[in-house]
Every structure is written in structure tokens, then in C-alpha cells.
């Protein structure tokens, strides 16, 4: 069933939340979310929503304290609902401690992830309908105004919740009305990662608008339809680095409640395809969004993406580079006025003295040229200085980012080792002493290596004064590969290439999953 | 509060349109205080605790959404501008080419000067976006560390792993554009006298990109100067060549010159 992976994610999410210190009763709260989508069709949807609406908040009081946590944590996952990494899904199933947050991936998106975001979005719609009808949890309504005070561009208002993807708060109310007997659903359904196929797309694509409540869900499902279609087709159609679809469910800066308002990550390749299509249609002025969309034949793209992109494109072409209202380099301003005034004087001169020999204007112009040249040079020098500073900052940012990534990798590696140690420690109680020894040996080695790594990490920064930051990255590479040789656990995953960091959590988590079976 | 202050400074000196897009560090810290206050009577099941915790998580996720949205919007703009740049340069070269008549030579130089300025600013903006990404990440890492410390939770590690994959932190594309921009600049600028860039202390006026860049570099150094809680997760101090010279680039208060 298509819904299965979603359920497993949510289940692990439930586990995660119980680890967060919420009460164990929470596991019962999740199944509602999971149980809501055994079959994703309109009628079911309607009936489910009606059920949710009519069902009295039986489990509310015991859950109210912690369900807030549940609600928001889950909403965080929905708020994050973007491409999930397949490996991270696996990770979630295997490591209950992993939160059900969804991370972005720049690589191709696996189909396993889709339903989660779908669920969350549908959830939001059901939640919204619930919220409007059941305001029986005081603390929830209290927190709403707090959120309204947040200095973020949300359009969270009481009346607007249904259509809008203001996910997090909406979810909270949803959770509170969960009945307890949905737990059966969760326990019965199993993870079937391969089940997520385009069937899901088909189902979603067929949802039609009936009445207000399902309309909200339609909007969400439509969104998720395009979202899910994007996922399959993105990985299939566009080679290399595809445009990435990100589901900014909560704070879509587009701001309106229209369907398919996801953010598209425009890559140069995608943009090139766009420009090609536009040119084929006769230029940016004549091309229409619909035409471009058709011509581009990128399944993931919606007309809204194309529309907004076309607008930006037109602005960029016909009003180039007036982005900063304040001039950056003061001398340039003076220089330009200087030049213009001189130009004016020259022309005046020219008109007044046309009878004179041809050499005269040339001489004046020569004088002018030298002056102009001087100011020109000054401007250029000022710009060069600006460039240098900018380059410096860029360099430092790259280094800093690489360091941060490395640090986190190290932390993750240690974590994994500890977990492994714990696991084998538990096994040790049951099995013989040999297992424990091996893993403890590994662990101590890991600790030694990591501390060695840390020391090495601190040292290279002193070499920066030589002005060769690339050495640091190379050293990092050397260290990590050294570590990798000793441990077959986290090999190439930790190698961070110098300038561009391709090390998405993809490979490490996959390997981590493998290691922990 | 050191980071908070630095962040605030950075925000103040950032481009006007960006100011509300940075991390709400103070807000998160307030919520964190609330959480630890609510957790002090150790009722992790108490409503206040749950509520505060929920708010905290919600804000965290909203912030990340905010970063992503803003970042991708900017990135889209940059991709477009980056693509348009060579066309623009070509147009100027064709129109007022080096072998044009004298009057157009002025135009040519003027246009080229404009282009140069624009390219440099474009470059600067992209770098500033990377800085935006980085400083927000740093803030998030700090907040998460505080959270773990105060509540004894294990939020930090997995959450940070997710953050690392977020669009706003995956700045590879921007970095690539920056490098390509530098190549373009080298083509467009006349050959330089290599030394002496940082000889003179220069006043850096305006609210603009240059000012921001200098401020960003200085802030970065300050943040990494050395923390009270140095751990394996802390970044080493920044060792910047020419740092004293950069510091001497006095950052003046903005001069209000409007160009429509």
C-alpha cells in the first residue's frame, strides 16, 4: 500500500517523540495520523475528516500536556516537508532516536519519501478543518497568538487556516483530537519502501474538488501531487543536477493559498532550458508562461514557477543591475558626474569652436581623456579593493563551512560508535565476552582518532597565515581518509571535497544504516 | 550573549531587504529560558513545559523555512543575473566597441565602468548570501547546543544533520557562481598592478555591499575569537591574513545617497 512508508515514518516519529521525554501515551496519538491514510481517495478522505470532526476528544486530557509536543514536533516534520532522503527514512526506521524531520537532498529524490509530505499536507488540511470546529484545547489557542507575534512572514490567521499551509500551529489542534483506538492501524501496517510508485501520483492526481473541506485537502494533495510527480520525474528526466523542488509548507514566501505553491530550486541547467524555451517562443516579452511550461517539458515544473521566474527574467533583462539603491563605491558616483560634466563641456567646446582646426577638439579630448582615465583608474582600484575583500570573505566562508561539516561528521561518527558500543554492550550481556572486546577496542580507537583529528584540526588553522587555505581542506581530507582506512565503517563518506561539498548525509547515513543492520 | 550581539551588529549592517531574514536568535533564547524554567520543577509532563517546548520547536522549524525560502529566492535571482551578465557585456562591447569613434569611447568606458561596478556588487551579494547562510547555521548550532545543555535532550545532533542538508546551507551552487563571476571580472577589468591593494586604509561608506562584506569578515573573526565553552564542536579561531588592514577599513555610518 502506498501509505505504508508514511506510516512507518510517523511511527518512528512517534517513537522519537517519546524519546523526547513525552509520555508513552503519545504513541497512541500518532496512529490517527497514520490511520488517516489507508487509502488516499476523496471519499475516504471525506469520511475520515467527518470522523475526526465528530469524534469527541477522548484522549485529550491525558495527552494535552504532551500532545503539544507531539503536535509541534510532527508539524516540524511537515513544516520541513521537502524531499526526504531515502536513506534517512531507513535511518528513521532503524534508529528511533532520529527525529522525523525531513531533510533536503540535492540528489535525486527517492519515491519513498513522498507520502510523508503528502500526509503532512493532508494532515494540515484536516487539522485546519478540525481547528475551526474544535477549539476545546485552551493552551493551543493560547499559543496561537504567540505565533502571530513572531516576526516572520506568516499568514497565520484563524480564518485562513484551511487553505494555507501554515502547518505547525494547525497540526497542533489536529493532534489533540486524536482518538486512541487508531493504534491498531499503526501496528498492522508495515514499511514497504518500494510501494511508493507513481500509483501514488495517479491517486493524487485524480482527486477532485468537491466541497470546502475536501477542497482544502485537494489543494494540499494537488500540491503533493505536483510534489510527488516532481520527485519521480525530476530524477528521471533531468540528468545531472535537476531543479529541486522544496516544499516550504509553512512559510512559502509566495504567501498565497493557491495550490502547488512550492519553492523551486532553479539551477543553471534548468534556467538554461528555460531561456532556450523562451527564445524559441520569440523572446521574453512574447513568451507566455504556459507556452514556456509546455516547451520545457519538465514535469516537476508548475506554471506558477514559470510565471514568477519569467517575471524575474524580464526584470533582469530590461532593468539590469539596479538592485542596490545606494552606490557602493562613493568615488564612482563622483567620477560619473565628473565624466558627464566634462562630456558636456567638451560638446559645448566642440560646438563653439567648430571652425577651428581639427586638432583642437582632439587636444581637448586628450586632456579630458587623461582626466577621465585618472578617475577611471581610481574607480577601478576601488572596485579592486572591494573585490579583494569579497574574495577573502568567500574564502573564509568556504573554509568555515567545510570545518563545520567535518565537525558534524565527526560527531555523527562518534555517536554511531557509541551506539554500536551500547548495542554490543547489551549483546555482551547475552553473548560471550569476545564481542564486547572488539567493539570496545573499536570505540577506543575511534575516540583516539577523533581526538587526534581534533588536534590536527586546530593546528592547520595556524597555517592560514601563509595564505593557503586550500591546505587546510587537503589536510582535512588526509585526516579523514586516514581515519577511514582504520575503520571500515565510515569510509569515503567523510571525505569532503575541497571547494564544493558534495557530502550530503546520504552516504554516511546509508552506511550507518548498513552497519547497524 | 556574545554571539547574539554579533548577530545583531551583522543584521544592522546588512542589506536592508535582508534584515528580517536572519535568525531570531534572541527569541529562541527566550523560549529556551522558558523551557528550562518550566522544567525546573521537574515535571516534563507539565503543560508549560510542553507548551514552551512546542513553541521552541515550531520556531526552529519556521526559521529554517524562512531561511530556505529567502535563500532560494535569492539564488534564483543570482542564477538569472549570472546568465545575463555575459550577454550584457557583449552588448556593450558590440555597441560601443573599442574601435568606435571617440565620443562613443566615453560611452564605452562609462558603460564598462558601470558593468564592472555591477559585477563586483553582484559578486559581493552572492558572497553575502553565503555569509547569511553561514551565520544562521552558526546561530542554529549554538541554540541547539544550549538546548541540549539546558534540557539534557538529544536534539542537537540529529537536528543539525538535517540542517546540513537544507537548501540554505547547501551553498555549492552559489560558490560556483562566485568563482565564475571572478573569472568574468578578470576578463572585464584591465590588467592590474598586483600589489598595493591593501596599502591604504580607506573609508568604506554607505550601507552597501562593500561595507557589509567588511563587517562580515570582522564579525566572523570576532565570533571565532575563542569561546568560553570550547568543545570538539567549536570552530578554531580565525587567522586572517591582512586582518589588521581589513580592520582599518573604517566602516562609516551610511551616507544616504539615493540613486533611482
Tens-digit pLDDT profile for residues B139-161: 999 999 999 988 888 889 889 99
C-alpha cell read off for B224: 571565532
Are A65 and B50 in contact (CB < 8 Å)?
A: yes
**Residue in B116, B162, B191 to test binding to A, most A beta-carbons within 10 Å:** B162
* E strand map for A299-351: none
Q: What percent of chain A has pLDDT over 90?
A: 13
Which candidate from A65, A102, A327 shows the least CB-CB separation from B46?
A: A65
Lowest mean pLDDT among A425-429, B198-202, B211-215, B224-228: B198-202
CA separation for the pair B36, B150 (Å, rounded): 6
Residue B140 and residue B23 in contact, taking contact as beta carbons nearer than 8 Å: yes
Within the 100-159 window of chain B, which residues sit less than 8 Å (CB to CB) from chain A? 102, 105-106, 109-110, 113-114, 116-118, 120-125, 127, 130-131, 134, 137-138, 141, 153-155, 157-159
Are B233 and A317 in contact (CB < 8 Å)?
A: no
Structure confidence at residue B41 (pLDDT): 63
Structure confidence at residue A336 (pLDDT): 56
Q: What residues in B contact A283, CB-CB < 8 Å?
A: none
**Mean pLDDT throughout B28-50?**
77
Structure confidence at residue A337 (pLDDT): 62
Lowest mean pLDDT among B75-89, B155-169, B223-237: B223-237
Q: How confident is the model at residue A76 (pLDDT cuts 50, 70, 90)?
A: very low
Structure confidence at residue A262 (pLDDT): 78
Instruction: Name the nearest CA neighbour of A364 among A344, A335, A334, A379.
Output: A344
Write the CA distances from A391 to B213, B217, B219, B246, integer angstroms.
10, 11, 16, 13
CA separation for the pair B24, A419 (Å, rounded): 34
Which candidate from A82, A392, A400 shows the least CB-CB separation from B235?
A: A400
Structure confidence at residue B152 (pLDDT): 83
Within the 198-227 window of chain B, which residues sit less than 8 Å (CB to CB) from chain A? 198, 202, 205-211, 213-214, 216-217, 220, 224
Q: Sort A153 into a burial class: Cβ within 10 Å, 0-12 / 13-18 / 19+.
A: middle
Print the SS3 string covering A223-237. HHHHHHHHHHHHHHH
Are B206 and A328 in contact (CB < 8 Å)?
A: yes
More confident residue, B210 or A225: B210
Q: How confident is the model at residue A393 (pLDDT cuts 50, 70, 90)?
A: very high
**Mean pLDDT throughout B151-176?**
91
Are B153 and A20 in contact (CB < 8 Å)?
A: yes
More confident residue, A412 or A452: A412
Residue A475 and residue A460 in contact, taking contact as beta carbons nearer than 8 Å: yes
Structure confidence at residue A57 (pLDDT): 42
β-strand partners of A499: none
For residue range A87-136, what is the model confidence (pLDDT) as tens digits? Answer: 443 444 444 444 444 444 444 434 443 444 444 444 344 444 444 444 44
CA distance A93 to chain B (A): 14
Does B17 contact chain A (CB < 8 Å)?
A: no
Are B69 and A263 in contact (CB < 8 Å)?
A: yes
Are A317 and B192 in contact (CB < 8 Å)?
A: no
CA distance B116 to chain A (A): 8
Q: How confident is the model at residue B109 (pLDDT cuts 50, 70, 90)?
A: confident
Residue A87 and residue A103 in contact, taking contact as beta carbons nearer than 8 Å: no
Does B162 contact chain A (CB < 8 Å)?
A: yes
Contact residues for B16 (Cβ-Cβ < 8 A; gap 6+): B207
Structure confidence at residue A125 (pLDDT): 41
For residue range A240-287, what is the model confidence (pLDDT) as tens digits? Answer: 444 443 333 444 444 444 455 678 899 999 999 999 999 999 988 899
Are A73 and B202 in contact (CB < 8 Å)?
A: no
Structure confidence at residue A86 (pLDDT): 39
Q: Sort B140 into a burial class: Cβ within 10 Å, 0-12 / 13-18 / 19+.
A: buried
ipTM for the whole complex:
0.85
Amino acid at each position: 500500500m502506498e501509505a505504508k512508508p508514511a506510516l512507518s515514518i510517523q511511527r518512528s516519529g512517534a517513537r522519537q517523540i517519546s524519546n523526547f521525554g513525552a509520555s508513552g501515551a503519545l504513541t497512541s496519538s500518532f496512529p490517527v495520523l497514520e490511520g488517516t491514510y489507508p487509502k488516499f481517495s476523496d471519499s475516504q478522505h471525506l469520511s475520515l475528516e467527518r470522523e475526526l470532526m465528530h469524534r469527541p476528544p477522548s484522549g485529550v486530557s491525558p495527552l494535552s500536556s504532551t500532545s503539544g509536543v507531539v503536535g509541534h514536533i510532527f508539524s516540524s516534520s511537515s513544516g520541513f516537508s521537502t524531499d526526504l532522503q531515502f536513506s534517512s527514512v531507513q535511518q528513521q526506521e532503524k534508529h528511533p532516536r532520529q527525529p522525523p524531520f525531513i531533510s533536503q537532498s540535492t540528489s535525486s529524490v527517492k519515491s519513498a519519501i513522498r507520502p510523508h509530505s503528502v500526509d503532512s499536507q493532508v494532515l494540515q488540511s484536516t487539522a485546519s478543518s478540525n481547528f475551526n470546529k474544535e477549539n476545546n484545547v485552551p493552551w493551543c489557542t493560547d499559543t496561537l497568538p504567540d505565533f502571530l507575534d513572531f516576526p516572520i512572514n506568516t499568514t497565520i490567521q484563524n480564518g485562513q487556516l484551511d487553505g494555507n499551509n501554515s502547518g505547525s500551529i494547525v497540526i497542533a489542534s489536529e493532534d489533540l483530537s486524536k482518538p486512541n483506538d487508531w493504534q491498531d492501524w499503526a501496528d498492522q501496517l508495515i514499511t514497504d519502501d518500494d510501494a511508493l510508485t507513481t500509483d501514488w501520483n495517479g491517486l493524487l492526481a485524480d482527486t477532485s474538488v468537491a466541497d470546502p473541506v475536501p477542497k482544502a485537502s485537494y489543494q494540499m494533495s494537488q500540491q503533493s501531487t505536483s510534489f510527488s510527480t516532481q520527485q519521480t520525474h525530476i530524477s528521471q528526466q533531468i540528468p545531472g543536477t535537476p531543479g529541486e523542488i522544496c516544499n516550504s509548507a509553512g512559510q512559502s514566501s509566495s504567501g498565497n493559498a493557491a495550490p502547488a505553491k512550492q519553492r523551486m530550486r532553479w539551477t543553471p541547467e534548468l534556467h538554461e532550458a528555460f531561456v532556450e524555451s523562451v527564445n524559441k517562443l520569440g523572446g521574453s516579452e512574447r513568451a507566455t508562461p504556459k507556452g514556456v511550461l509546455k516547451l520545457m517539458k519538465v514535469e516537476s515544473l508548475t506554471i506558477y514557477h514559470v510565471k514568477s521566474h519569467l517575471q524575474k527574467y524580464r526584470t533582469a533583462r530590461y532593468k539590469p543591475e539596479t538592485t542596490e539603491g545606494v552606490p557602493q563605491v562613493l568615488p564612482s558616483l563622483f567620477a560619473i558626474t565628473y565624466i558627464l560634466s566634462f562630456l558636456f563641456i567638451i560638446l559645448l567646446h566642440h560646438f563653439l569652436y567648430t571652425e577651428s582646426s581639427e586638432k583642437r577638439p582632439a587636444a581637448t579630448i586628450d586632456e579630458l581623456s587623461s582626466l577621465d582615465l585618472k578617475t577611471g583608474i581610481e574607480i577601478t582600484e576601488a572596485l579592486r579593493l572591494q573585490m579583494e575583500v569579497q574574495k577573502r570573505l568567500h574564502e573564509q566562508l568556504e573554509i568555515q563551512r567545510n570545518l563545520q561539516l567535518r565537525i558534524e561528521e565527526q560527531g555523527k561518527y562518534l555517536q554511531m560508535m557509541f551506539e554500536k558500543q551500547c548495542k554490543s554492550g547489551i549483546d555482551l550481556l547475552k553473548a560471550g565476552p569476545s564481542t564486547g572486546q572488539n567493539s570496545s577496542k573499536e570505540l577506543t580507537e575511534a575516540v583516539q582518532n577523533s581526538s587526534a583529528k581534533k588536534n590536527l584540526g586546530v593546528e592547520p588553522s595556524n597555517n592560514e597565515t601563509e595564505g593557503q587555505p586550500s591546505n587546510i581542506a587537503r589536510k582535512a581530507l588526509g585526516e579523514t581518509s586516514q581515519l577511514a582506512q582504520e575503520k571500515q565503517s565510515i569510509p569515503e563518506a567523510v571525505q569532503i571535497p575541497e571547494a564544493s561539498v558534495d557530502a550530503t548525509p546520504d552516504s554516511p547515513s546509508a552506511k550507518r544504516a548498513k552497519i547497524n543492520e | 550573549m556574545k554571539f547574539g550581539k554579533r548577530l545583531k551588529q551583522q543584521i544592522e549592517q546588512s542589506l536592508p531587504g535582508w534584515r528580517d531574514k536572519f535568525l531570531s536568535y534572541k527569541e529562541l533564547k527566550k523560549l529556551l529560558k522558558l523551557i528550562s524554567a518550566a522544567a525546573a520543577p521537574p515535571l516534563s509532563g507539565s503543560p508549560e513545559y510542553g507548551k514552551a517546548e512546542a513553541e521552541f520547536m515550531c520556531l526552529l522549524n519556521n526559521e529554517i523555512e524562512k531561511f530556505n525560502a529567502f535563500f532560494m529566492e535569492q539564488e534564483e535571482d543570482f542564477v538569472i543575473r549570472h546568465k545575463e551578465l555575459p550577454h550584457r557585456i557583449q552588448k556593450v562591447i558590440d555597441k560601443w566597441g573599442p574601435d568606435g569613434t571617440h565620443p562613443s569611447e566615453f560611452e564605452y568606458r562609462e558603460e564598462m565602468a558601470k558593468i564592472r561596478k555591477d559585477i563586483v556588487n553582484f559578486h559581493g551579494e552572492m558572497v553575502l548570501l553565503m555569509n547569511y547562510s553561514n551565520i544562521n547555521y552558526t546561530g542554529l548550532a549554538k541554540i541547539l547546543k544550549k538546548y541540549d545543555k539546558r534540557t539534557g535532550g538529544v536534539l542537537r545532533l540529529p537536528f543539525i544533520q538535517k540542517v546540513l542538508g537544507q537548501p540554505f546551507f547547501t551553498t555549492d551552487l552559489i560558490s560556483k557562481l562566485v568563482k565564475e563571476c571572478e573569472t568574468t571580472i578578470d576578463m572585464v577589468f584591465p590588467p592590474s598592478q598586483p600589489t598595493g591593494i591593501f596599502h591604504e586604509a580607506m573609508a568604506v561608506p554607505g550601507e552597501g555591499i562593500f561595507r557589509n562584506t567588511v563587517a562580515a569578515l570582522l564579525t566572523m573573526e570576532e565570533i571565532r575569537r575563542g569561546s568560553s565553552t570550547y568543545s570538539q564542536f567549536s570552530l578554531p579561531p580565525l587567522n586572517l591574513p591582512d586582518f589588521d588592514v581589513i580592520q582599518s577599513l573604517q566602516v562609516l555610518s551610511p551616507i544616504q545617497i539615493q540613486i533611482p
